[in-house]
Structure 1
């Protein structure tokens, strides 16, 4: 088989890249080691920045999102038992975010790819990439006991943190930066109405909490928990009880509880790979970087990577210019590090750290107090939360 681009990974990054390339007339095959149902079963983020909304519109997959997504123009910071609203639109000249689950984004992209009759090979085993340091790369895989090889011009590694693409790069050619946080997020998904019309980020002496949502009838809640905790230790009643303890009186009164339909604990880390291009191999999304979920930058950063990469690959395949691919890594990393900084800062501000003591809690509360009473401080939070423009700093 021969194609112009092989995309490894059929998560939202790979599917979005495939859709953008298809719109420009560039052939691409997507390989995925899991089944479609498994991919759709991943519960992930749900807050989309304006840049991501624009890229999804460019890909032609925004119809259902615009109909069902929830537009948010602000969010609440809760500390010392009181909530304070950050007016995203008012502080950023009318910008907003949209709550629309990553699962739904993935479903829309899958449906669009299937409708266009494009090739996605699911349950591809033993995927290996070859000769990406040359002009004749290829990707091999096994399916139904038979090994296949796809020749291509470029390989896009959209296969996540544990994928084969980054792991195939020689260690001498790559540098990795990582910070592992000493806690995780216990998340619960429930078919209950959200506690509030917008998100609530809570700084509590008992630890961080987040009240989020997926729709007007489905809620997503998180609690900071020790890394040693197991999901089995947390009954639904225990979760709701601890969440109440970290909320303000009004939120406690409005909280509707119910049976969890998904419950999991996710560790938190900051991770960046440099560079993101190795010959004809390009990394994008979680294959190149991970952010703590505080601030919801993961999917949005991935969408930006894909926007830069699709433009570069279209330029290379259609216009026969390598200017875009030569600058891909530099452009991405400038934006990635800004988002990594914000996610690290927001995480450090909102969570209880094992060694911070009571003085650490006081420092956090004082900074939060400054942020809500300083227009400049509030604007800094708002600008970073809604997402910096694509050309910021260029």
Structure 2
């Protein structure tokens, strides 16, 4: 059975306006911007994102060794609150198994006396309702990793301020974490004339504009975290990347797999050729996320005179590796109903991409027209996956960083 959520109901509270940011700020501190760069999909409280983001659990599992190394290397004062922050948490479900393990480790080492406070940060349009329903056991959780109910002296709050702003007080954070979130750009630098994603565009000028915006955004993200991290604090970030061979994830086309990023772009272009959407709508449909090469990820840490280094952040280690597609692996392992598999695979793509396709459609269209176009688009993709499940994979390339706040 296909999920056909109404677009008005599922893309929540769209397109708020820019904040004025009237207070005087330091040179690098921008005006606050409340315009969402990513709109969640699914009804509030449905848990749609984490229920369909199967691969993101595996990415976070890949991050566990570096996370536990960071926790084990910290000097923790058991008489003070230990503050943990999940930046770009979405509805919080994908990181809960890891956070259970973090809290469990802290309890084993320091006992119940150590107060632990977890903050979930995301945009104001995030599905915080699902977050708290999961934490309190009102939505199912993988392997019952409910640390809030499983441990004493643990507290949870949410922050609806973008990570492009300072979200928390200076020196508040002891351990920060972010998974597959900080590739979202603060704004779209320009339209991509020939693709939905910068990685599959052949427009050099547009790709250069994306790279420039991404470099500025990455530095800003790190500077904001430098303010929030306490001296001696640690942060682990994983960001989508492009490997040394130019592979950006989404399915290896050189081994016969359909690449997700190429397919979404080409299918949307086919809709333009058929007259289902206009050429202008195709050009205006862009995913404003950026996959960095490892050198771009490391740049703010390499030069000791960089603003990031001067703010006290150092890169302890970085590793780039791929996470296999959980859906494809399950299909190869278990087989099953091809249509059900295709629905789940495409729902995963829909959860993080539909906002961009919706935004690209003309404002002159009714919401009913937009819903019809988008349902047809994703259903057509679903049909292709159902016809050949073995050809569709969405493995992910990521760089995993362990960062320390020195002072």
TM bracket (short chain): under 0.3
TM-score, normalization by structure 2: 0.26
TM-score, normalization by structure 1: 0.27
Q: Whose helix proportion is higher, 1 or 2?
A: 2
